[in-house]
A = this chain, B = another copy of it.
């Protein structure tokens, strides 16, 4: 019997593998030693086949007993509160961890994901480049002064921030050594490597079923 259940898609094409956001929940569970089962909704008709569970038709969502949570950020926060590994107990450190979790999503990802979307739409030079650039400069300044964001150790804030920066393709925006080293440090963690390998294996196994 697993502690929690992580819901994701049954299959995705090659491109998004290693980036589907169940990775954030897997990573959090691996860091915190929370056991989890993985269940799936179908990739086909994914926009409408699980709106009862996720009103935007996205994955992941998390089940913990009677509690169901969509939004990967809310899921990571829920998991983090179950384990001091991810969320310090000290009130100030806890507030800092939570503020940086919101910052990862609402100050960096709010710019980096739409920038990426425009780039994918064929607009490599787009109106969001300057904004991404300035946010990445600001986070570079922060990361130049510390190894991890809060309490001199890895927390859920780093989990979200490193994942957001990993996807933002930092190097595409110029030379930011502190940020690059930070992301490298985060994804070298055994918990990330396990989570990533398991996601890749999950989708690879589905290839066989899909072509069978």
Decide if B127 touches A70 in the complex (CB within 8 Å).
no
- Asked whether A105 is an interface residue with its Cβ less than 8 Å from the other chain, the reply is yes
- Nearest CB on B from A128, distance (A): 6
Q: Which of A56-79 contact B (CB under 8 A)?
A: 56-58, 66-71, 73-74, 77-78
- Asked whether A131 is an interface residue with its Cβ less than 8 Å from the other chain, the reply is yes
Decide if B77 touches A98 in the complex (CB within 8 Å).
yes
Decide if A99 touches B71 in the complex (CB within 8 Å).
yes
Q: Which of A106-147 contact B (CB under 8 A)?
A: 106-107, 109-111, 113-115, 117-118, 121, 123, 127-128, 131, 135, 138-139, 141-142
- Asked whether A95 is an interface residue with its Cβ less than 8 Å from the other chain, the reply is yes
**Which B residues are in CB contact (< 8 Å) with A148?**
none
Decide if A110 touches B107 in the complex (CB within 8 Å).
no
- Asked whether A103 is an interface residue with its Cβ less than 8 Å from the other chain, the reply is yes
Number of copies: 2
Separation of A107 and B77 alpha carbons in the complex (Å): 16
**Which B residues are in CB contact (< 8 Å) with A91?**
66-67
Decide if A56 touches B131 in the complex (CB within 8 Å).
no
A67 CB contact (under 8 Å) in B56, B68, B95, B107: B95
Decide if A78 touches B107 in the complex (CB within 8 Å).
no
- Asked whether A92 is an interface residue with its Cβ less than 8 Å from the other chain, the reply is yes
- Nearest CB on B from A50, distance (A): 12
Separation of A152 and B21 alpha carbons in the complex (Å): 30
Decide if A128 touches B106 in the complex (CB within 8 Å).
no
Other than the known A55-B103, A114-B128, what 15 A-B pairs have Cβ atoms closer than 8 Å?
A51-B141, A55-B138, A55-B141, A56-B107, A58-B107, A67-B92, A69-B98, A70-B99, A71-B102, A71-B103, A73-B106, A74-B98, A105-B105, A106-B109, A117-B127
